[in-house]
């Protein structure tokens, strides 16, 4: 995971921090990549699913510096394809392309940690999950 600063006068990005989404000491073997990144509506937390490690890396952000701190890495469905936060940032959902399941988590407000709720069968090779506000 790499954090960037945006220079609005030049329209350029400059990297200022890179931090692993994998546990200390873990050496990836075979296929491995992150599939997406989601930032909580508050901007306080960042989440990235690891394909190959079958986990979600959770980070907090320092509002003053923008620096990331890894909070935890939680297990999830096989080959996490996509994840989505609800519009308020209270729940996170991730679909596993190889498991055919969607895992749900409660986002702990103060810490950004994920508390597993349940896993649901959603059919073969789910590719996307999107949580939206109802239209009124």
> Which of 68, 47, 54, 3 shows the shortest CA–CA distance to 26?
54
- Give the pLDDT of residue 36: 87
> Which of 8, 6, 26, 31 shows the shortest CA–CA distance to 16?
6
The total of other beta-carbon atoms located within 10 Å of residue 47's CB is: 25
Long-range contacts of 90-95 (CB under 8 A, 24+ apart): 91/117, 91/131, 92/38, 92/47, 92/56, 93/129, 93/131, 94/49, 94/56, 94/129, 95/122, 95/126, 95/127, 95/128, 95/129
> Which of 35, 134, 21, 37 shows the shortest CA–CA distance to 88?
134
Instruction: Kindly state the helix (H) or strand (E) to which residue 109 belongs, with its residue range.
Output: none
Low-confidence ranges of the chain (pLDDT < 50): none
> What are the structure tokens assigned to 32, written together?
């491995």
- 104, part of any domain: yes
- 91, part of any domain: yes
- Give the pLDDT of residue 45: 97
- Give the pLDDT of residue 127: 81
- 100, part of any domain: yes
- CATH number where 49 lies: 2.120.10.30
- 64, part of any domain: yes
For the chain, the domain total comes to: 1
pLDDT in tens, 74-98: 999 998 989 999 999 999 999 999 9
- Give the pLDDT of residue 30: 78
Q: Where in the sequence is the domain holding 110, given as residue range(s)?
A: 33-131
- 28, part of any domain: no
- Give the pLDDT of residue 61: 96
- 22, part of any domain: no
Q: Specify the pTM.
A: 0.90
- 16, part of any domain: no
- 48, part of any domain: yes
């Amino acid at each position: 995971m790499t954090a960037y600063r945006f220079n609005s006068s030049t329209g350029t990005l400059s990297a200022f921090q890179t931090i692993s989404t994998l546990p200390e000491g873990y050496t990836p073997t075979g296929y491995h990549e992150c599939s997406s990144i989601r930032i909580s509506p508050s901007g306080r937390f960042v989440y990235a699913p690891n394909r190959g490690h079958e986990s979600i890396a959770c980070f907090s952000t320092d509002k003053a510096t923008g620096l990331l701190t890894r909070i935890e890495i939680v297990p999830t469905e096989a080959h996490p394809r996509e994840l989505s936060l609800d519009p308020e940032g209270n729940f996170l959902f991730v679909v596993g392309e190889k498991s055919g399941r969607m895992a749900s988590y409660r986002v702990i407000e103060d810490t950004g940690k994920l508390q597993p709720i349940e896993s649901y069968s959603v059919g073969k090779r789910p590719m996307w999950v999107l949580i939206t506000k109802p239209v009124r």
